[in-house]
């Protein structure tokens, strides 16, 4: 059984794995897919993709299955093979299938892949592109519904071909994301972000099946307010901020999971500070210059109280600011934002 099991490793940067948060119950929304907070691209972005090796037939599969997401989410893929593309795909058959999650891809050195498609069975490429747009594993949903027989899972994953130690198995399979680290709640057994697990791996003898197409809830989730809605604010409708404006710009997250997008122009090189104030706990990300996907920095609470603040040396150019609620119960509220040159 085990030798047929292909486990995809979520590559999440250690700072996020280690990030300690209070555990809170999420609102009881019946959203199914899950996304770690703070890994989403700006709504309406075009993500560039580069193939690092691979054959034309492999490229065609990757392109087709990436399209399953862009048909429903407000994101586009541009397969332009740019050296510094946002998503860089290797096809190393000895390295399994994996991807970094969402904007974490931007932290990987440009010469290295952000995704590996060592095999392309079924919906593997769609699954990995799901990670690349910010989705995590469905079996790691806080409401996963899988009653793991931990001893069996650890024993089986220690065998060929995985040879995982207990810690690796705990991280990749058993450990669940805490409720406040993810968007979405209830478990979707049809999600493409779920992997096949045999019934012997659970205490109640209920395993999972492997899914090769997007489930209707996958589609609904990525097109929803928490991910990439067609009706939401996009990079092309971002609100302009004036640098060193006299007043702070008032804003509000009106729907659970919604993001706000702002843009500003740095008219000269210098040190700039973007910060938020107010009762709403937000995650702040800065992109640019002249790029909607080049992540410069992110922050959730280094400002006053639990406000977010980013200070960065910027060259003259256009920049984007993404604000999302830090998915605590309620998930909405007012805040203000300001950018100033020091
Ligand atoms: Zn995966």
CA of 191 to the centre of ligand 1 (A): 11
Check pLDDT > 80 for residue 196.
no
Provide the pLDDT confidence category of residue 282 given band limits of 50, 70 and 90. confident
**pLDDT given for residue 159 in this prediction:** 84
Q: Tell me the average pLDDT across 214-243.
A: 91
CA of 130 to the centre of ligand 1 (A): 8
Provide the pLDDT confidence category of residue 302 given band limits of 50, 70 and 90. low
pTM, full prediction? 0.82
Check pLDDT > 90 for residue 65.
yes
Task: Give the orientation angle of helix 56-70 with respect to helix 124-132, to 10 degrees.
Answer: 60
CA of 177 to the centre of ligand 1 (A): 14
CA of 248 to the centre of ligand 1 (A): 41
- In terms of pLDDT, which residue wins out, 51 or 95? 51
**pLDDT given for residue 184 in this prediction:** 60
CA of 305 to the centre of ligand 1 (A): 36
CA of 212 to the centre of ligand 1 (A): 13
Q: Work out the percent of the chain whose per-residue pLDDT is above 90.
A: 45
**pLDDT given for residue 70 in this prediction:** 98
Check pLDDT > 90 for residue 246.
yes
CA of 195 to the centre of ligand 1 (A): 8
CA of 10 to the centre of ligand 1 (A): 6
**pLDDT given for residue 32 in this prediction:** 35
Neighbours of ion ligand 1 (CB under 5 A): 8
Do the beta carbons of residue 240 and residue 262 sit within 8 Å?
A: yes
CA distance 342 to 340: 6
CA of 303 to the centre of ligand 1 (A): 34
């Amino acid at each position: 059984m085990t030798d047929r099991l292909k486990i995809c490793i979520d590559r999440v940067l250690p700072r996020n794995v280690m990030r300690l948060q209070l555990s809170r119950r999420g609102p009881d929304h019946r959203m199914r897919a899950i996304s770690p907070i703070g890994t989403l691209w700006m709504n309406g972005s075009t993500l560039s993709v580069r193939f690092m090796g691979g054959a034309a037939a492999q490229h065609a599969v990757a392109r087709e299955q990436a399209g399953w997401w862009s048909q429903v989410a407000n994101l586009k893929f541009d397969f332009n093979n740019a050296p510094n593309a946002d998503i860089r795909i290797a096809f190393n058959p000895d390295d399994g299938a994996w991807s970094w999650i969402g904007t974490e891809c931007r932290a990987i050195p440009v010469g290295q892949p952000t995704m590996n498609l060592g095999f392309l069975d079924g919906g593997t490429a769609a699954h990995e592109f799901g990670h690349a747009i910010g989705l995590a594993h469905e079996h790691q949903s806080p409401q996963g519904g899988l009653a793991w027989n931990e001893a069996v899972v650890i024993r089986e994953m220690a065998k060929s071909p995985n040879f995982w130690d207990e810690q690796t198995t705990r991280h990749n399979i058993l450990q669940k994301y805490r409720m406040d680290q993810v968007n979405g709640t209830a478990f979707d057994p049809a999600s493409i972000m779920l992997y096949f697990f045999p019934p012997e791996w659970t205490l109640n003898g209920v395993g999972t099946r492997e899914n090769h197409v997007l489930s209707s809830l996958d589609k609904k989730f990525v097109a929803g307010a928490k991910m990439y809605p067609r009706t939401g604010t996009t990079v092309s409708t971002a609100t302009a901020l004036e640098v060193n404006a006299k007043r702070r710009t008032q804003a509000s997250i009106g729907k659970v999971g919604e993001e706000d997008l702002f843009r500003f122009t740095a008219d000269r090189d210098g040190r700039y500070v973007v910060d938020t104030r107010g009762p709403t706990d937000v995650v702040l990300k800065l992109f640019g210059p002249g790029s909607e996907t080049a992540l410069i920095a992110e922050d959730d609470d280094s400002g006053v109280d639990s406000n977010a603040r980013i200070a960065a040396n910027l060259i003259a150019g256009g920049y984007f600011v993404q604000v999302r609620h830090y998915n605590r119960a309620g998930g909405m509220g007012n805040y203000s934002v300001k950018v100033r040159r020091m």
